Amino acid sequence: MDAATVRLLVAGILGLPTLGFLVVTLGGTLVPRRVVRLLGPGVIVGAFACVVLLTVGVLERAPADRSITVTLWHWLSLGGKHGGFGATFNVLVDPLSLVMMGVITGVGGLIHIYSVGYMAEDRGFNRFFAYMNFFITSMLVLVLSANLVFLIIGWAMVAFASYALIAFWYERPTAVAAGRKAFITQVIGDVGLVLAAFLIFLNLRGRSGNLLHTVDFATIFANVGPGAHFHNGLGPAGSGLVTVIGLLLFAGAAAKSAQWPLHTWLPDAMEGPTPVSALIHAATMVTAGVYLVCRFHPIFEQAPTAGAVVAVIGMGTALMAAIIGCTQFDIKRVIAYSTMSQIGLMIFSAGIGAYSAAIFQLVAHAFFKALLFMAAGNVIHGIGGEQDIRQMGGLRRRLRFTYPAFAVGTLALSGIPLFAGWFSKEELLGNGLVLGPATPWLWVAGVVVNVLTSFYSFRVLWVTFHGEAHGEEASKAHEAPRVMVGPVLVLAALAALFGFTNIDFGTFHPITIVATFLAPVFGPIARVPAPGVALLALLVGTALSMGGLGLAFLVYGRQAIARDLVPRRAPWVYQLSLQKFYWDEVYDAMLARPMVGLATACRRVIEPGVFNGAVDGVRSAVQTLADDFRTFQSGLLRDYALVFFVFAVIGLLVLGLHLT
């Protein structure tokens, strides 16, 4: 595939969603709904077709030759003493960005199609698709950018799109508050990313020791890490600078991916429409943090401390979210916590250096989590907007297509053998046995996460679809229209079958096709567990996951174990989980209250004293001056002439002094 074709396809990938966004935005409500219904999903599907063609074209090349940089346009060209600074809109097409683009446009396209049904009755139909297309554009800019500048631009655009979509139903105060919370948290992460970019820009040195002042990924990565000549442009491995850069990058990643301590926005973001939850808060945006860590893997490889922090925080978030997920009652919130948990696992994997495992999990997770959200959307749609699982029950007989789809999603999420999640999570955790800090205890934590995950997933499945219908709405539930069921079934098929890409059918060795595809980007993995250990870990992990399933079955299916066992025996554990570890309260006490107190104090003291005083002072000073100057304004020509004459003489005097 020649450069011109690549360029054309990239332009298509970026241009089609932009086109959709612009047409719907500029046209507003003048664009008829039936046009938006075709245009909104159509542009994304078109972009997906471009991605597929581009992937085919890239696969024709030799593995080492699969990284292509296309310059779309020159944006900033500033001269300077260091040879100038320029941010060209370079697009980096490589296996990593292709995988990300495939997920964004593929899953995104399905969700767009689903949205046509889900949002059909909504007043803001056009606005919704404008936002959604804008989000896809932003996300594509983020993953396609070949330099820090456009990465940051995409990063910020994504945050805005997320804000707009969470607060989509702007007449609901809770939705607006949730959108604001998400946006503010994102901005905290943005600051980290921007600071990291500054540090790289200011400190990166080339092989001859000169400061490079570059934002270009290829140049940065060529000058960081061992490389061909063990050159290290940011100081020796583990130095303070590179560790700080790694931690700042992770601050950005943590905000996007809802990792502790920037995780509280994600559950609240469920205030947005369900397709938004599926697209942004399951499949794409929240995985941007994983993408970031993976994209900057040379830096994290140079900063083992930062990598360890990433791994520990990832696993800690996974564990915490899994515990919280066990006690929540809102179906979307449970799925949101499971998202947080699963992304924690990805972040853990990226932190210990198993990048392709993280990306593999990312793709699998995009399938089954989008599936779960959309199936949950069908449920909510079917019973008139109710989200509390206690009001559901017995829905499996009424939602004949959604039920099996949701079940497949649950099985995949729980890591039941032969479903996608089993392949991805077991590979991911296996690496934890030999890589990263505190081996093998993080692996143990990961197994616990898996057990909890299968427990709460089946809890939701049983309470929602089995048993007796609770509440009137649940007994009159109806299946969603075809346009909503179709994408769900497609994703169910993917969630069921995607894992088999993990097996090489020629040899039946467990090697991942994704890992092979990504190998030119990440290089070989540092260490893998011995085959015997890996097999043992696989068996133990799988058995325990299924044990979690069995436990949920005993509690919620057979009711052999009382549901209130934990609340009765260990109320503090139950409360901790139910109250989400009190993080919202902690932040409220630590940040919100002092801020409000400070603002109140300012209003009481500084506002009247300083600001009003200053304003009044300026007013009275101006008035006094004006009163003084008004006497000059006599209106008598003679007075003006006198002033003129006096100043002419003064001018002459100055001239005379100057000449003599």
Partner 1 sequence: MSVIFGLAAAVAVVAALGVVVAQRTLYSALALVANMVALAVLFLTLDAQFLAAVQIIVYAGAVMVLFVFIIALLSPGAQERLHPLEARVLIGGLAAVAFTVVVARLTLNGVSVAASGRFYGRLGPFAPVLVDRHGQVQTLGEQLFTTFLLPFELSSLLLLVAAVGAVYLSRRRRAS
Partner 2 sequence: MNHNLFPGFIGLSAALFAIGAVGVLVRRNPIVVFMCIELMLNAGNLALIAFGRFTHTMDGQVFALIVITVAASEVVVGLALITGVFRSGRGLDVDELSEMRE
535, interface contact from partner 1, partner 2, none, CB < 5-8 Å by kind = none
Please, which residue, 607 or 639, has the CB nearer to partner 1?
Answer: 639
Q: Give one DSSP letter per residue of 182-228, joined into a string.
A: HHHHHHHHHHHHHHHHHHHHHH-B-TTS-B----BHHHHHHTSSSTT
Which has the closest alpha carbon to 376: 480, 496, 237?
480
Task: List Cβ neighbours of 607 (8 Å cut-off, separation of 6 or more).
Answer: none
Residue 634 binds: one of partner 1, partner 2, none (C-beta under 5 to 8 A by kind): partner 2
Region of residue 417 (left: phi > 0; alpha: psi -120 to 50; beta: else): beta
Could you write out the three-class secondary structure of 326-365?
Answer: CCCCEHHHHHHHHHHHHHHHHHHHHHHCCHHHHHHHHHHH
Site for partner 1 in 638-657 (CB under 8 A): 638-639, 642, 645-646, 649, 652-653, 656
Print the binding letters for residues 593-632 with partner 1: x by CB under 8 A, - otherwise: ----------------------------------------
Among 30, 62, 78, 636, interactor with partner 2 by CB under 8 A: 636
Q: Rule CB under 8 A: say whether 34 interacts with partner 2.
A: no
Residue 657 binds partner 2, judged by CB under 8 A = no
65 binds, among partner 2, partner 1, none (CB under 5 to 8 A by kind): none
Q: Which helix (H) or strand (E) holds 535?
A: helix 531-552
**Candidate list 418, 530, 610, 641; residue touching partner 2; CB under 8 A:** 641
660 binds, among partner 2, partner 1, none (CB under 5 to 8 A by kind): partner 1
Shortest reach from residue 630's CB to partner 1, in Å = 17
Encode 553-567: b = buried (16+ Cβ within 10 Å), e = exposed: bebbbeeeeeeeebe
- Give the Cα separation of 207 and 216 in Å (integer): 16
Options 170, 198, 582, 645; binder of partner 2; rule CB under 8 A: 645
656 contacts partner 2 (rule: CB under 8 A): no
What minimum distance in Å lies between the beta carbon of 625 and partner 1? 21
Phi and psi angles of residue 276, each rounded to the nearest 5 degrees, phi first: -65, -45
Could you give the string, one character per residue 614-633, with x where binding to partner 2 holds by CB under 8 A and - elsewhere? -------------------x
Distance, CA of 464 to CA of 244 (rounded, Å): 46
Give the C-alpha separation, 104 to 256, whole Å.
Answer: 15
Interaction of residue 637 with partner 1, rule CB under 8 A = no
- How far apart are CB 649 and partner 2 at their closest, in Å? 9
Query: Judged by CB, which is closer to partner 1: 507, or 631?
Result: 631
| Residues contacting residue 53 through CB under 8 Å, at least 6 positions apart | 9
**The only residue of 539, 586, 642, 653 in contact with partner 2, by rule CB under 8 A:** 642
Which amino acid would we find at residue 471?
G
The region of 197-205, 297-305, 410-418, 640-648 touching partner 2 under the rule CB under 8 A is: 640-648
Output 5 or 633, the one with its CB closest to partner 2: 633
Q: Across 514-617, where does the E strand assignment appear? A: none
Is 634 one of the binding residues for partner 1 (CB under 8 A)? no
User: Bridge-partner residues for 639, per DSSP?
Assistant: none
Query: Whose CA is closest to 331, among 379, 387, 386, 374?
Result: 387
> Interface residues with partner 1 (CB under 8 A)?
638-639, 642, 645-646, 649, 652-653, 656, 659-660
> Interface residues with partner 2 (CB under 8 A)?
633-638, 641-642, 645
